[in-house]
Amino acid sequence: MDFVAQVYAYLQPGGIVMFPLVISSVCMWVLIIDRVLYYRQLGRDDIPLRQAVGMLAAKAAPAGATGLRAGVVTAFLAERTGDRDLDKKILDRCAMRARPSIRRALALIATLAAVAPLFGLLGTVTGMITTFDVIALFGTGNPKAMAGGISEALITTQSGLTAAIPGLFMSTYLMRRAGRLEGRLDETVAVLKRHL
């Protein structure tokens, strides 16, 4: 409870701009955690390429495995016809169905990370407008009255950058992991096609 009060006391001088900034940051981190857990599950529960080829030859779906290769092999075995050319197209389609789940939410994470400093910049502008309004009313002789606007400008800028910097790093990291998974998917399809 004390932590929440401290966070509120920190965010409150930032003004109305802090609401979309906090909401977008929370959404971004929820999506990041979801993707990290998903990629971890795909890697942990997957089968080696040699085992995928063996299962293709044995026409037996992997038991209990839910990884990327296991999912493609399972889907392919369920639709396999025995016609080599048609099976290649079915294998491509199984891989194509797996591909969108790899890239899901990555563009949104990158967008949220890019938007955070813009919210910070908006807070800077509103804070400076507040400061100039105070100067217009009381002149520059009352620094205490100007402090509210300056505080708003600085807190929103700091919060925007604090949300954006790790968000951009995580976005890049997740893009690279997705690229590696897609490479693994392409390799799996190419090898399985040779063994049809």
Confidence of residue 62 (pLDDT cuts 50, 70, 90): low
Average pLDDT over residues 29-56: 89
Answer with the residue of higher pLDDT: 151 or 36: 36
Distance of CA 33 to the CA centre of its chain: 8
Residue 107 identity (one-letter amino acid): A
Confidence of residue 83 (pLDDT cuts 50, 70, 90): confident
**Rounded to two decimals, what is the model's pTM?**
0.84
20 close to 119: Cβ distance less than 8 angstroms: yes
Which residues neighbour 187 within 8 Å (Cβ) at sequence distance 6 or greater? 49
Which stretches within the chain are classed as H helix?
2-11, 18-44, 49-58, 68-79, 84-103, 106-138, 143-194
pLDDT of 6 higher than 80: yes
Query: And the tokens for 68?
Result: 């990327």
pLDDT of 173 higher than 90: yes
Q: Look at residues 48, 86, 102 and name the one whose alpha carbon lies nearest to residue 70.
A: 48
Confidence of residue 161 (pLDDT cuts 50, 70, 90): very high
Confidence of residue 36 (pLDDT cuts 50, 70, 90): very high
